[in-house]
Amino acid sequence: MIEPLSEKHYPAVKEIYLQGIATGNATFQTSAPEWEAWNRDHLPHCRLVALQDGIVIGWAALTPVSGRCVYAGVAEVSLYVSAMVRRKGVGKLLLQELITTSEQQNIWTLQAGIFPENTVSLQMHQRSGFRQVGYREKIGKLDGLWRDTVLLERRSSIVGVV
């Protein structure tokens, strides 16, 4: 079951985020923010949780890529799945629902920056219509090591089409 993510879900969302951080291949972040900071940084719409028997097993949300109005329809994807249910299709379901919800909110481009070592996430995004548009070499440091990211994007076929 997928439903909108709210503050009540955040303790479980934060724990799943910390699990992703612990892999070393999910994000440059080294800690998870408190609700107030997380809430401020993510778009108020397009926040989803996957539930199994009432327990949060994954989440997805969007952050704006820029404060400039010309980029109002461009957002970056965050998607994390509990270690207990990885590789069981939860991420795919969340991503598909995030795509649908984002288009309902007039988002025309979704982007994702993924470590090249995270092949499961790369494949999942590509199967969901994302394409590689760049490779960012040594874009940032994690634990003192320079890391690369693959830049993917998905252009809506229904929003902003003339």
DSSP code string of 67-96: SSGGGTTEEEEEEEE-GGGTTSSHHHHHHH
pLDDT at 141 over 90: yes
| pLDDT given at position 125 | 97
> Cβ–Cβ contacts within 10 Å for residue 135, how many?
11
| Nearest Cα residue to 20 out of 74, 61, 81, 73 | 81
CB within 8 Å of 101: residues ≥ 6 apart: 45, 46, 48
pLDDT at 162 over 80: no
pTM comes to 0.93
Q: Which two tokens stand for residue 96?
A: 């598909």
pLDDT at 109 over 70: yes
| pLDDT given at position 160 | 83
| pLDDT given at position 87 | 87
Report the mean per-residue pLDDT for the chain.
95
pLDDT at 108 over 70: yes
Task: Name the percent of the chain lying above pLDDT 70.
Answer: 99
pLDDT at 65 over 90: yes
Q: How far apart are the first and last CA of the chain?
A: 34
The fold adopted by the segment(s) 2-110 is Aminopeptidase (3.40.630)
Question: Coil, strand, or helix at residue 147?
Answer: strand
Q: What average pLDDT does range 99-122 have in this prediction?
A: 97
